Structure 1
Amino acid sequence: MPDFTPPPPVHVPIVAAIDLQRHAASLLLYQAVLQSPIAQTFLNLLQLLATSEPDLSCLRAYGDWFHAQASEQLSWQEHLIGQLLTADNPFAQQAHRHQFAELAPSLVAAAQQDLRSLHQLYRCDGTQISQWVQAQANLLTAPIVWQPSSTTPLEPTLSLLRQQPIWAQLQISHDWGTLIEALAAHYHQFGSGVFASYRAFRWQDGQLVGIAYPDPIHLNELVGYEQQKATLLQNTEALLRGYPALHVLLYGSRGSGKSSLVKALLPAYGASGLRLVEVSKAALKDLPTIVDILRNVPQRFIIFVDDLSFEEDDDAYKALKVVLEGNLTARPPNVVVYATSNRRHLIREFFSDRPRPSEADEIHQWDTVQEKLSFSDRFGLTLTFEPVDQTTYLEIVQHLAQQAGLAIGPQALEFRALQWATRHNGRSGRTARQFVDFLCSETAISPTA
């Protein structure tokens, strides 16, 4: 009989890798979850593990995957959950805007199938992959597995996501398909795509861009203007509860904390669904477009316009006027405008604007003047921030110094604070903050100063 040579045994990594490739290729809605660098290097590694020939290529591919995880400071499994919870696809978008019972059955079935496929990819952790690479490359020891440090600071978006119940549910679940309704509820509450990833945005180049590190100022850091603060909080809470909320103009002296007060609303109410959208004066013409994007989103939005004023021939105020007063399109109940300005009358007016007898003058020029002067009245609520007096200025300094833990006597603190105000920008909340920041740096550099 002729010699018979049996075929080489099929390694378990090959069979398993091919199966995982099938799951990745079968995705109907969640394909974008696998477009990140970590996912792409993972898929490339699976492709090489699925070959029948022992090869060092898989070892190099493993190094690429390890490098991608280390660059993001995330494990494969953490990354996959994060991508899933911030996905932007038809299922996530519809779940964001509608209740689960209202979703099309075929959409739900497709999402459920995708979840089960992604779960198979999730179950393949770094240790398993390392062992497969060891077997495929005939290594004596398995490659090092990437393990994030528990003390490494997380990116803000991921930190927020890990606090949500769905994160722990996905970690311990034996079947992600059973979590379809819980995932839809997550999208409905926290949003999909960019809305799930961020709480603060800016309008830039015709699109909403997330702000990963918004100003962390908190309400308890702001001293003075208690009545203005209480009124703004009341209006913001009305917005969050679905009651009619007013557009707000905060005007007054520079450095009085107008912008800081608006920014501090986000840490206070972000967990309750408040979102902040920063729009520059140059982009005001896009306001109707921005409002239409936000109209059907469950979260509540403050469009924040800082340092607002208009020149005489500036037409940008017309777009703002449409949003403030409305047109044939109904005003969305989840969007308000909060604007700050150093000017009570937002459109500059000159003495030459006043009507004078002249053939060249506009016949109804007073109507034009009144339109300019009344533009600020189109805000339903106007909050005035007058310059702080010396007593209030020192109260702000003492409050900030106490929060910073500065060990300096009250008399010395007041003396230096008044000197600082005289030599710098006068008495204001901004000046107080700059002074305390200077003291903190001085104390850190020279503790005996």
Structure 2
Amino acid sequence: MDELISNLLMYGKSAEHSVLSTLAELEGARKRGIPLTVEERKCAYRAVRELLELATEYGFNENLWQNYLSFLLMTDENPFTLTAEKVGAGEGSVNRFVERDFHIFRALFRYDFGALDAALGTDCFSVLTDYRALPKPAVRCYRAVSEKVRALSRSLAAVESDEAFFHTMSEFYRAYGVGKFGLNAAFRLEDYEKKGVLLKAIRNMDAVKFSDLIGYESQKEELRKNTEAFLRGQRANNVLLYGDSGTGKSTSIKAVVNEYYKDGLRMIEIYKYQFRRLSEVLAEIKNRNYRFIIYMDDLSFEENESEYKFLKAVIEGGVETRPENVLIYATSNRRHLIREIWRDRNDVEQDADIHRSDTMEEKLSLANRFGLSIGYYKPERRAYHEIVTALAERHGITLEREELLRRADCFELRHGGVSGRTAQQFINAELGN
């Protein structure tokens, strides 16, 4: 194994992974006749534990060793995989290096750990090649990742030639991509400035769908049409979802990502204080074969805040154009995003501003750069009752309609008015009783 791993070229980054490098060192020592003592056994156990942690996180099963190798192949971003993601494998000299690496991976897929287990006095690695995970609730956000890894693992284990291995992997990269963007739907920006931009996968994103948001059909349809045009590579607009709290603005955007993830849509959540790093984020994603939504939740600015100017430049007006594979979707309780005061309308008289209304124009200019603005307003009482009734039916609450609505109205009076959020909170309270 040590000789195999040391000869990886294009996928050399995978050889640096701790599990692979640890096993290579142990096998190298065994083949050189060096006795494997307690310390080597501890190293082996650490490698096994890391494999098990990865398996638990992503839901691997059956042959964890082959699942692990497949995971490395899926996440190794190198010149070949990034090109294959965009245009397929094609013809090129680089393919010779890749084919050699795939020959090594084929050998690793069939690697016999019997001698290593015997030298260590364990049976760990033999167990990992025929593993049965404990039954547990699936982590929804990683179910798709788990299915991809296991399906690819089975396909690669079944191929009978290096050429078939190459074809299987290149087709996978073309269909699903490579690295964190190929596996995950949503990300957030971590603030490690010394290391540059770091986009970290969001592991516990709500798996909400459009059908979970009752009502607001015209708003959802507008959002769908704009997103579908974006995914087809047609002209689409940045979107501002504005209106009352608890009406489903954030839920709608999460539903968009969940529904169109399979079509290559990804979301990056970014906060107001991170706007100065927007250009770095765009530089990292502009050449990837995905469509990205930059998501800004509960967006608004007070009078003395200037971060909105970074956002204005990115949306429209900066020297560097926004990449065609990026749109900005934002939610806000304010239609115009920036706090307006009466003094803005009297800038000449009170602030000696030479040009009347320039202050107001500056504040309105940000909202005007969202080509599509969709309003979400609190429902009328009848619509609130429809939401409550639908949610009660969905969750199996069997109260008589009259009693259900009476309780819902009483709950609403104590919890801030009618809205979809209030209806859901009422249902949660009923389920908890």
Shared fold (TM-score, shorter chain, > 0.5)? yes
Which AA in structure 2 matches 1:106? S
1:368 and 1:62, CA in 2 relative to 1: closer, same or farther beyond 3 A?
Answer: closer
Q: Deviations over 1:147-190 (max 9, x none)?
A: 23273556644743534764432121133453324423322332
Greater mean alpha carbon deviation, residues 247-256 or residues 159-168? 159-168
Secondary structure, counterpart of 2:398 in structure 1? coil
> Is the Cα–Cα contact under 8 Å of residues 348 and 354 in structure 2 kept in the other structure?
no
Match of 1:204 among 176, 184, 190: 190
- Structure 1 distance, partners of 2:412, 2:332, is 22
Q: Within 5 A, what are the aligned runs for 1:101-116?
A: 101=90, 105-116=92-103
Match of 1:97 among 63, 86, 90: 86
> Is the Cα–Cα contact under 8 Å of residues 70 and 152 in structure 2 kept in the other structure?
no
Q: Deviations over 1:383-424 (max 9, x none)?
A: 111211111111111212222222333222212111111111
Match of 2:158 in 1: 172
2:68 pairs with 1:86: no
2:104 pairs with 1:120: no
Match of 2:357 in 1: 366
1:431 and 1:357, CA in 2 relative to 1: closer, same or farther beyond 3 A?
Answer: closer
Q: Deviations over 1:13-50 (max 9, x none)?
A: xxxxxxx2111000112122234443243223313322
Match of 1:424 in 2: 415
Match of 2:119 among 107, 111, 136: 136
Q: Within 5 A, what are the aligned runs for 1:185-334?
A: 185-205=171-191, 206-334=197-325
Which AA in structure 2 matches 1:160? V
TM-score of the superposition, structure 2-length normalised?
0.88
- Structure 2 distance, partners of 1:53, 1:360, is 83
- Structure 2 distance, partners of 1:423, 1:158, is 39
Secondary structure, counterpart of 2:93 in structure 1? helix
1:132 and 1:407, CA in 2 relative to 1: closer, same or farther beyond 3 A?
Answer: farther
> Is the Cα–Cα contact under 8 Å of residues 113 and 177 in structure 1 kept in the other structure?
no
1:36 and 1:406, CA in 2 relative to 1: closer, same or farther beyond 3 A?
Answer: farther
Match of 1:149 among 126, 133, 142: 133
Match of 2:49 in 1: 67
1:425 and 1:37, CA in 2 relative to 1: closer, same or farther beyond 3 A?
Answer: farther
> Is the Cα–Cα contact under 8 Å of residues 355 and 361 in structure 1 kept in the other structure?
no
Secondary structure, counterpart of 1:383 in structure 2? strand
Percentage of identical aligned residues: 33
Match of 1:4 in 2: none
Which AA in structure 2 matches 1:278? E
- Structure 1 distance, partners of 2:310, 2:36, is 63
1:282 and 1:134, CA in 2 relative to 1: closer, same or farther beyond 3 A?
Answer: closer
Q: Deviations over 1:173-226 (max 9, x none)?
A: 133453324423322332222212311011222322111221111111101111
Match of 1:17 in 2: none
Which AA in structure 1 matches 2:87? H
1:37 and 1:431, CA in 2 relative to 1: closer, same or farther beyond 3 A?
Answer: farther
- Structure 2 distance, partners of 1:382, 1:209, is 29
1:385 and 1:158, CA in 2 relative to 1: closer, same or farther beyond 3 A?
Answer: closer
Match of 2:194 in 1: none
Q: CA deviation at 1:98?
A: 3.3
Q: Deviations over 1:329-371 (max 9, x none)?
A: 3442221111111011211122222335559612114123222
Larger radius of gyration: 1
Q: Deviations over 1:301-355 (max 9, x none)?
A: 1111111111223222122212222444344222111111101121112222233
Match of 2:145 in 1: 160
- Structure 2 distance, partners of 1:142, 1:279, is 46
Q: CA deviation at 1:53?
A: 5.0
Greater mean alpha carbon deviation, residues 387-396 or residues 398-407? 398-407
Point out where structure 1 has 5 or more consecutive residues left out of the alignment: 1-19, 443-449
Secondary structure, counterpart of 1:354 in structure 2? helix
Which AA in structure 2 matches 1:268? E
Match of 2:332 in 1: 341
> Is the Cα–Cα contact under 8 Å of residues 186 and 267 in structure 2 kept in the other structure?
yes
